[in-house]
Amino acid sequence: MQYLKQLTRFFSPRPARSEEMQRAQSLIKAIDDGGVPLNPGKVNDIARQLGLEVSSKAPMDQTIQRIREALARM
């Protein structure tokens, strides 16, 4: 019975991405395409929505790297 539940869960459609993940992925894509985020507050907000603790004094490039790492884990 347990095996059947695991198989069902494995082959079930995955839930849609959360809005926070979509925002983070859009940010990273824009940066990879050559864009530069102009508002550090938005970058910090995206990081916080992903569950990261971010200091308002943290360098933006460090926060972006942490967002990349968080997305890779998800």
Residue 55, in any domain of the structure = yes
More confident call, 11 vs 25: 25
Residues 33-56 pLDDT 10s: 998 888 999 999 999 999 999 998
Q: What integer pLDDT is reported at residue 15 of this predicted model?
A: 54
Reported pTM: 0.73
> What's the number of CA atoms in the CB half-sphere (13 Å) around residue 18?
9
Residue 6, in any domain of the structure = no
Q: How many domains does the chain have?
A: 1
Classify 48 as helix, strand or coil.
Answer: helix
CB 74 within 8 A of CB 21: yes
Classify 42 as helix, strand or coil.
Answer: helix
Residue 10, in any domain of the structure = no
Residue 13 confidence (pLDDT) above 70? no
